[in-house]
């Protein structure tokens, strides 16, 4: 029988600096150790779970001393649900670390000449800032370590079965963290989730079993707009008209502020609804949001910046970096529902938007009509295939390209396509400075980076948006 390896534990380690992805670091005899759930100034015993020659990764098993920079987290679910990992840090410190994250990624991965990075733009509101949240209902919950130990010490039964509403537990696919109050979205979002949970328990409606794929009540998405409109979309494991009507009528009676109530039947193994059809039970089936003077239709499957107020700042910076004079043809790549293209449209001669998701392009066209904008043109498909010589001959070559890819960044073929197109200005909006840095290194063949502006869209997390202006050499 193979002997089990003893865990490697390093005692009394001083956490020295912030790293990336929410981790901090320490250096021991020239070796860098990345540590979860710590901040600079903590002194901890670390258990390693990865151990290489020059670096290692670990987590704290004992705190000998807490950093003086720590503050009391405001959420009762901190460190359990896996979100808002930086509540123990003052917001001004979070911004310092996020600025450092952008600089480290661009210098370490990009390895190109950079201008001075502009000071990060922080959020005015650091709680209740999200316009969209997704909850999970399940028949098993995640039991936190403290509760598990307490139950064991008191010889009380340990069971995780029941009916719960909350968020997926980090690193555990089949259990949810039962949430009482989340501080990410304003009320009545918690009241809606808790009321639905209680109602379905009282009526003995089954909660979804994530592992065995059985049960009725599955997920819920809540969206709110600054216009005061609310959308709730409830995902169900199977169709049952009687139960649906009973639940939905209860929701509408208890929460009259809901302007659109939808449901989606999902019989698949995964939770994605992008190949499913939400059905409007009440209301128009979408909500309308406003950025500056522009109105946007947001349907259940639409992508929209999840922090509306910071999104407005992000788009304003993007527009400034585009340096438009009303004479430019602007290509908006990964345009989604057309929000960036429409936001900059007053200063452009023409907007050409390209997006792979056809439903998003339909929303983009509706948004252009809604705002009485007639010089936007939106196309569904792969930008590499769409942007050929015939397309340029028809619509004109771009003077400015705006690209806002997903976290994985741009496909290498698209980067080479941008080099071929050789637009005078590229504005690269990124939610992942690491993949952005990789792409900037490739673009460096023909472009120089001229402006860099980080924007904090997600307070109390390690996530950061970054806008970069590039100009043709």
Enumerate the active-site residues.
Answer: 431
d(CA 96, CA 86) in angstroms, rounded, equals 12
DSSP assignment letter at 131: S
The arrangement of strands across the sheet holding 55-65 comes to 9-14, 43-51, 55-65, 31-35, 24-28, 17-18
Cβ atoms of 232 and 206 within 8 Å: the answer is no
Token pair of 350 as six digits: 């023409």
Cβ atoms of 403 and 428 within 8 Å: the answer is yes
Q: What dihedral do alpha carbons 322, 325, 331, 337 form, nearest 10°?
A: 80
Q: What dihedral do alpha carbons 44, 50, 52, 58 form, nearest 10°?
A: -10
CA Rg value for the chain: 24
d(CA 329, CA 341) in angstroms, rounded, equals 11
What are the residue ranges of helices labelled H in 162-240? 189-202
d(CA 39, CA 19) in angstroms, rounded, equals 10
Q: First vs last Cα of the chain: how many Å apart?
A: 64
d(CA 307, CA 310) in angstroms, rounded, equals 6
Which distant-in-sequence residues (6+ apart) come within 8 Å of 202 by Cβ? Answer: none
d(CA 340, CA 333) in angstroms, rounded, equals 10
Cβ atoms of 367 and 389 within 8 Å: the answer is no
Q: Which residue has the tokens 């999902």?
A: 266
Q: Which helix (H) or strand (E) holds 415?
A: helix 412-421
d(CA 66, CA 169) in angstroms, rounded, equals 26
Token pair of 468 as six digits: 């970069």
DSSP assignment letter at 79: T
Half-sphere exposure for 202 (CA within 13 Å, toward CB): 9
E strand intervals along 407-464? 425-430, 447-455
């Amino acid at each position: 029988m193979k002997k089990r390896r003893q865990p490697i534990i390093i005692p009394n380690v001083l956490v020295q600096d912030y790293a990336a992805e929410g981790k901090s670091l320490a250096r021991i005899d020239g070796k860098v150790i990345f540590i979860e759930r710590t901040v600079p100034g903590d002194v901890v015993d670390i258990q390693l779970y990865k151990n290489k020659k020059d670096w290692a990764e670990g987590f704290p098993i004992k705190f000998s001393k807490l950093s003086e920079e720590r503050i009391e987290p405001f959420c009762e679910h901190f460190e359990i649900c896996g979100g808002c990992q930086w509540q123990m840090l003052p917001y001004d410190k979070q911004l310092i670390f996020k600025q450092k994250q952008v600089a480290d990624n661009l210098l370490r991965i990009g390895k190109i000449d950079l201008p001075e990075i502009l000071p990060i733009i922080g959020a005015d509101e650091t709680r209740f800032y999200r316009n969209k949240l997704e909850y999970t209902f399940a028949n098993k919950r995640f039991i936190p370590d403290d509760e598990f130990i307490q139950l064991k010490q008191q010889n009380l039964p340990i069971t995780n079965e029941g009916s719960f509403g909350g968020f997926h537990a980090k690193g555990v696919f089949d259990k949810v963290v039962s949430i009482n109050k989340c501080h990410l979205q304003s009320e009545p979002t918690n009241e809606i989730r808790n009321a639905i949970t209680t109602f379905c328990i009282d009526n003995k409606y089954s909660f979804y079993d994530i592992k065995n794929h059985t049960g009725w009540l599955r997920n819920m998405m809540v969206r709110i707009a600054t216009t005061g409109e609310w959308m709730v979309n409830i995902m169900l494991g199977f169709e049952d008209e009687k139960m649906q009507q009973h639940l939905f009528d209860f929701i509408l009676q208890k929460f009259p502020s809901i302007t659109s109530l939808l449901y989606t039947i999902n019989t698949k193994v995964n939770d994605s609804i992008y190949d499913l059809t939400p059905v409007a039970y009440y209301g128009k089936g979408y909500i309308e949001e406003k950025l500056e003077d522009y109105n946007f239709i947001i349907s259940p499957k639409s992508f929209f910046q999840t922090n509306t107020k910071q999104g407005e700042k992000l788009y304003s910076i993007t527009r400034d970096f585009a340096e438009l004079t009303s004479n430019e043809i602007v290509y908006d790549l990964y345009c989604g529902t057309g929000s960036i293209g429409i936001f900059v449209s007053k200063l452009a001669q023409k907007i050409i938007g390209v997006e792979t998701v056809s439903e998003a392009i339909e929303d983009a066209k509706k948004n252009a009509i809604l705002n009485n904008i007639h010089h936007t043109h939106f196309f569904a498909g792969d930008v590499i295939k769409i942007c050929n010589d015939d397309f340029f001959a028809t619509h004109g070559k771009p003077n400015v390209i705006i690209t806002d890819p997903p976290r994985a960044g741009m496909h290498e073929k698209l980067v080479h396509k941008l080099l071929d197109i050789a637009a005078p200005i590229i504005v690269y909006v990124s939610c992942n400075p690491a993949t952005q840095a990789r792409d900037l290194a490739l673009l460096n063949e023909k472009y120089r980076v001229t402006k860099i502006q980080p924007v904090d869209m997600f307070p109390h997390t390690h996530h950061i948006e970054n806008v970069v202006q590039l100009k043709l050499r």
